[in-house]
Amino acid sequence: MAREKLGFMDYVKEAFNLKVKVPAMGKVPVNWLGLTGIGVVSFFFPPFLLIGTGMELGYLYLLSTSPRFQKYVQAVRNSKTKEQWEEKKNRILARLSGPSKAKYDELEAKCRKVVSIYEAASLETGRLDTSRVIILNQILWTALRLLLSRGIIVRNIKNESKEELQKKIEKMEQNLKNESSQRLQKTLQSTIEIMNKRLQNIEAADEKLKSIDLELMRIEEQLELLSNVAAMEGQGEGTLSEKIDSIATSINETDEWMKTDRELFGALEEEFEGPPEGIIDPGSASAGQNEII
């Protein structure tokens, strides 16, 4: 989800509906109160309507073009976006098993560690470039998708033993050899074919689980590498940015692999529209919200 691009009318709308905290009253829609006052005065003194309209237009223009107000609006919108992604992430985490949740928490902690180490060591901006933070979020979102997919495989396919199924097939094949009735032979043959397909599904699931585990391991190793690089850098982004950019390529490859395997991952596409921004955000959104209210 890319950051929302705001136009002049977006700022006008926010200025029109701006609410300001007032002690003992909470948030008060100041512009609506002003418009009500203009309406009341104009009722008793009609010429004031023209003056009030000019005042309203001037208020909207001055506030909407104020850099400080625009930063505030951007901070509020970004904060809402972050909350939406947080809710979405929590809904998906609720579907994971305990070990999978722990693995995700571990990966997210590693991403946050990369950001915090860099910000503590940097002697320039003290903040990792936004585009690189988006890549870290994409890494986490990919990991979350892999973990959820792994859980689906385990629940839906890996709930029976491959060895036990093979024994059943061998027994059915032996019964088929000893059966003289053509009708029963046909039934046994059909059953064996179904069981063989189930066996193929289990073998395919094993392969997919191995692939998923390898992808998760690669992500973990990549984050460990980023932590080491961030810790060794004291100035600028330099090598860290290059490493993050190179990891973005491998994450895109993982996404393409998941998209091509629709049988396993296709049902998850809608839930994982992205890349997200709201998991890790080292920006100053929270500070910006305090500038106006």
Q: What is the pLDDT of residues 95-151, one digit of tens each?
A: 888 999 999 999 988 888 888 877 776 545 556 667 677 788 888 888 888 898 888
Going from the C-alpha of 149 to that of each of 145, 165, 198, 210, 290, the distances in angstroms are: 6, 24, 19, 12, 40
Going from the C-alpha of 213 to that of each of 8, 71, 162, 207, 268, the distances in angstroms are: 48, 42, 20, 10, 18
The pLDDT value given to residue 289: 41
The pLDDT value given to residue 47: 87
Tell me: pLDDT of 257 over 80.
Answer: no
Q: pLDDT exceeding 70 applies to what percent of the chain?
A: 75
In this prediction, residue 237 has a pLDDT band, given cuts at 50, 70 and 90, of: very low
pTM for the full model? Answer: 0.59
Whole-number average pLDDT of the chain: 76
DSSP E strands in the chain: the ranges are 19-22, 26-29
Tell me: pLDDT of 87 over 70.
Answer: yes
Tell me: pLDDT of 229 over 80.
Answer: no
The pLDDT value given to residue 145: 84
Q: In the chain, what are the domain boundaries?
A: 96-283
The pLDDT value given to residue 277: 56
The pLDDT value given to residue 273: 55
Lowest-pLDDT range, 101-105, 164-168, 174-178, 237-241?
237-241
Q: What is the pLDDT of residues 179-225, one digit of tens each?
A: 888 888 888 888 888 888 878 777 777 888 888 888 888 888 888 88
207-211: Cβ within 8 A, 24+ apart: 208/149, 208/153, 208/261, 208/264, 209/150, 209/153, 209/154, 209/158, 211/257
N-terminal to C-terminal alpha carbon distance within the chain: 27
Lowest-pLDDT range, 172-176, 178-182, 252-256?
252-256
